[in-house]
Structure 1
């Protein structure tokens, strides 16, 4: 029931300082500072901060008042057709399918990603190629919604009026052109959180101006955290939703998805339970060189290079040892009891290490996929580096499905 607090183990027992920091968008050090000041008092037996000490925060309130169970019942009133751009390895498309959308065309440049889409969904109309060469006008009677994650590129501002034509040459321009040609009722674009502040906010201002010029009302953009949507990963995405002006005038409004009633951890991804019916299967994965493995053996769960003995810190970090900054991604081992750090396109990059919590190796491809909530039946095609890239760039499937259900609800309201 909406508003009913479900018996979510990691809520009723409290929050670890790390998890509370993630939920409240704070640094771990700021939570630790509040503990030192006595503003927060962890339970001495569990080291968890009791729920009653943080239940006044909006983020915690939203978890406790979750209407997720109601929202998963949202179904389309009729078939809603979807055009997806920059489809990648299928995370967003899978989530949209789960929500109830019917994909009529998916475009992607990368050959391996297209092979993945075609392999798993032979019935999908997957068009491989440069988006700038595709004419979308034939779809303008058939498509209800356009979705996609356009790569964020800088625009040139010198002497420009900053309309649609001024973004030509960027991939945002190509998505805007598709929207102009198709005239969907609604569009949804996703991007990195950094787009909010890109070029001191000017890039987003240009995008807002172009959306208005295209004839759409933009819902105030919002950064969604994957950990709130049944995803065991600390990933954040900026979501842009636009409603065609002639329909927005009818009074239907977009409502953001409700969070799930608990925060899932890496344990939920790797073992049978709430997310999966089986433990994670073995799969292909990278391995560490011998000396790197010997050093990484000394890093505890949730730890990083500063947890190494000083002589190993110096050996591993080399010149970086003397530089400022935390460099918390280096020699980083994940923790089984927390959500994963944001996955990158390669699990053994030195700046963004993603070492398995209990084994000294990078995450395997199927572990990667589970952290992104792909079903085990979804097979990735291509060499290992291409597989990691497809998974690392994806929108988490469960998060995409939650957004998709909110978009279905909006289209249902517009129908009514």
Structure 2
């Protein structure tokens, strides 16, 4: 496929199906039609339903307002509004809060913040309450083995000098060593203009350490873009080096290179690289993956939009009215893996146009499960605790 044809195909496909009840009902009916025509896909669809069910009622919990790194354009600290609330420090307070959230039917708990690994007791306290969980960490601190959830270990570079430039310290080697062979961990490589050529070496490093690898695409915050536009002076924290001509932002040409390099590594090392060719094409297209409301600037159909029953809580255990799980990110240029993958839960009309496109969507769901859910040794999805009646809700694409 030529780059021009790739761009057109991606534009037609889109990243997300509408989040309306009408579309979801149509999608469920269309899937049944496709399964009648292709019964060999029934088992694959059952697996997709199992993956989707795990995310039936997600919630985000900031467990820490502290961090030990200073990443350029930090998603958490960049807007200057975080770390102003008093974090709850009592383990009993956290347990009571988690218990109430479990009773609310939360099936997937995302543990976020500045650096969750700095608060291990808060992570361990969650284990009895949520069947599925996902922790985002920079990998510099080992999360106790008692925590039975998927761990996304963020890495930003494959050499020491670039890592120091982007994160204020070279930590990727330490992260690889700490989580070597840990089946909970998957390395999440955030790709920027400065690290595209690091894709092969990071793949090799993960292979050598017995770790799966997936990818995130650097997406700027509105605060970071404002600093670039206004030529603000550099600081010692999260805007240390970037200028109009020297920054982590990606061009259309950069995205094209990313697509080709990831595709090559996927084909060469399928046991290491956990990614999806269709998703790779969607996220590396030159046009933004999300349709944005012109008045609000918000990607209303993004799967990471914080709308009921999904909620976001600060470290003070108070619900926060934020647009998404990364509130300061610029929706117009967002290619973050959180919003990208979650937007695929509801298949678009293009996904369900043919048996082949439906099969591609099923493969995407399988890959999503491998990235975000802790696998059993036999490769199946295993909840950390039995599902309650509230958590074991209807299966497909949010249809009530």
Q: Which TM class, normalised by the smaller chain length?
A: 0.3 to 0.5
Q: Which has the higher contact order (CA 8 A, sep 6+)?
A: 2
Greater Cα radius of gyration, structure 1 or 2: 1
TM-score normalized by the length of structure 2: 0.33
TM-score normalized by the length of structure 1: 0.32
